[in-house]
Structure 1
Amino acid sequence: MRGSVDFSRWAVVLCKPDAVERGLVDAVLARIEDAGVVVRARTDLVAEAWQAHVAFRDMLADPGRFPPDLPARLDETYAGQPVTVALAHGGPDIHARLRQLIGHTDPAEAAAGTIRGDLGADSLAAASREKRLVRNLVHTSDDPPAARRDFGTWYGPGRALQVSDFSRCSVILCKPDATERGMVDAVLERIADAGATVTNRCEITVQPWQIHVHYWDLLVDADRFPDRDIPACLEQEYAGRPVTVALAHGEPGIHARLRDLLGHFDPTHAAPGTIRGDLGIDSLDAALAERRLVRNLVHTSDDPDAARRDIGTWFGTARRELLTPPVPAQAARPIPDPLRQPRRTP
């Protein structure tokens, strides 16, 4: 997996023990995001000695520049101490940009406007007197080879972007009309271009039970739709027909952001810039006249509980490993937040 990642666009951000102890992790990561860098896969962990040794191997391998007790200082600072790591994504210059943003190694020498200059409270002189490492809040990968090493050091094999809960994952259902119109690629590209990581694309033929489980809320509240036979409409529109499902991964809040990106359930009322607004051709009026469901291309999970159910419905209950997607190798942009959408309506 790591061999396919373009590490010229990825850096590991290490918020050091002093940043954790001072409660500055959020501020540090926010400063990085405010600089236009996408930050994801935030992980809190307790550092092991070997991780600090590997992360700072260049210092350990250059004893002429550093004090002879550097190994002991690293162990004292990191071993058994809480740190926070995250992945930062940007253009090929991301490593130089981040190093400039965090500022000089010595917070006392760091320029105003840099993270260490504005938030740092230590100095190299104080650290030297006390025979310890300088407390300068944050480290970022120096270059692509360092990013590759840092990634393996802090995340380890198979731990990239691991989703510990369903707040970071949504199921995408490209409906039969998207499949029949050849719009699946366009829909998934719009979602990926908006900053979500799209994985595990799968083409399937819908079984009746899947659509019953998926739209359970419409079935149990069918009296809201006296003009239509909801069970019959669902089976007519979905059962035995091809659909495409995929997973979208992102930060908490992805469900609302994706729903906003999809647009209003009635394509004729969906705003320009939304998927349904730009690509939809059906209308609620036409659906009502024909006593069927509106054809609006795509559905995404409403919330974390729905994502949990949707994964079981469309991928199978034993597919939890799908929640660990690969690190994306392409540039990402934040998902826009147009008008929030109303409750789902057929």
Structure 2
Amino acid sequence: MCKEEVERTLVIIKPDAVVRGLIGEIISRFERKGLKIVGMKMMWISRELAEKHYEEHRNKPFFEALVNYITKTPVVVMVVEGRCAIEVVRKMAGATDPKDAEPGTIRGDLALDISDAICNVIHASDSKESAEREISLFFKPEEIFDYPKAADWFYRKGI
């Protein structure tokens, strides 16, 4: 459980969201919540990277479908930062299976079907350890930025 510290987490806007034009909707939800996007890029995930990312699922029956799905179209990967970001982003994402996701969550509002490929519009790291590992798979240190939020500009001197 988070103790109010600032954390970073990985978010992937998955192929089903990309092809449905939901990138902006998903990003805006995080920004409106007050989270900060400190790294972001669109990329086509290679099979090798997908297998590393989903390593924990390697022996599960859906592994092959998951890898095939995440490599089907470009995705948007982001590093999201904020107080208790891992927990906050997971709550905002909603239950993994869209049929179980509450209205108001990203999956509850936007995901259509989990099917064999886990087409649930978004991936969010599930722990601090996962977030650190996943961020390092997708981002070089120089691709993650530290910058002040608007409130820092207006209310703190010396910025």
Distance 1:330 1:174 in 2: 27
Residue by residue over 1:286-312, the C-alpha shift from the partner in whole angstroms, topping out at 9 and shown as x without a partner, is x1xxxx222111111112211111112
The equivalent of 1:273 in structure 2 is 104
The equivalent of 1:329 in structure 2 is 150
| 3-state SS, counterpart of residue 120 of structure 2 | coil
Greater length-normalized contact order (CA 8 Å, ≥ 6 residues apart):
2
The aligned runs of 1:145-294 (5 Å cut-off) are 168-220=7-59, 222=60, 228=61, 230-251=62-83, 253-282=84-113, 284=114, 287=115, 292-294=116-118
Residue by residue over 1:139-194, the C-alpha shift from the partner in whole angstroms, topping out at 9 and shown as x without a partner, is xxxxxxxxxxxxxxxxxxxxxxxxxxxx6101111111111111011111111111
Tell me: CA distance 1:330–1:295, structure 2 relative to 1, closer, same or farther (3 Å). farther
Q: Is the 8 A contact 1:266 1:296 kept in 2?
A: yes
The equivalent of 1:163 in structure 2 is none
Q: Is the 8 A contact 1:169 1:323 kept in 2?
A: no
Q: Is the 8 A contact 2:13 2:76 kept in 1?
A: yes
State the structure with more CA Rg.
1
Q: In the alignment, is residue 296 of structure 1 matched against residue 128 of structure 2?
A: no
- Structure 1's consecutive aligned runs of 4 or more residues displaced over 3 angstroms after TM superposition are 321-324
Distance 2:121 2:94 in 1: 11
Distance 1:271 1:235 in 2: 26
TM-score, with length taken from structure 1: 0.40
Tell me: CA distance 1:323–1:202, structure 2 relative to 1, closer, same or farther (3 Å). closer
Distance 2:94 2:125 in 1: 14
Q: Is the 8 A contact 2:66 2:118 kept in 1?
A: no
The equivalent of 2:157 in structure 1 is none
TM-superposed deviation, 1:328: 1.9
Which ranges in structure 2 are unaligned for 5 or more consecutive residues? Answer: 153-159
Distance 2:93 2:70 in 1: 20
> How many residue pairs end up in the alignment?
149
TM-superposed deviation, 1:210: 1.4
The aligned runs of 1:131-146 (5 Å cut-off) are none
| 3-state SS, counterpart of residue 250 of structure 1 | strand
Q: Is the 8 A contact 1:176 1:297 kept in 2?
A: yes
Aligned partner letter, 1:215: Y
User: Root-mean-square deviation (CA), in Å?
Assistant: 2.2
Q: Is the 8 A contact 2:92 2:105 kept in 1?
A: yes
TM-superposed deviation, 1:322: 4.5
Tell me: CA distance 1:329–1:180, structure 2 relative to 1, closer, same or farther (3 Å). same
Distance 1:327 1:281 in 2: 36
Which ranges in structure 1 are unaligned for 5 or more consecutive residues? Answer: 1-39, 43-166, 223-227, 332-346
Q: Is the 8 A contact 1:208 1:240 kept in 2?
A: no
Residue by residue over 1:313-338, the C-alpha shift from the partner in whole angstroms, topping out at 9 and shown as x without a partner, is 112xxx2244542112279xxxxxxx
TM-score, with length taken from structure 2: 0.83
Residue by residue over 1:260-290, the C-alpha shift from the partner in whole angstroms, topping out at 9 and shown as x without a partner, is 11001111211111111111122x4xx1xxx
Residue by residue over 1:233-281, the C-alpha shift from the partner in whole angstroms, topping out at 9 and shown as x without a partner, is 1232022521001111112x22112101100111121111111111112
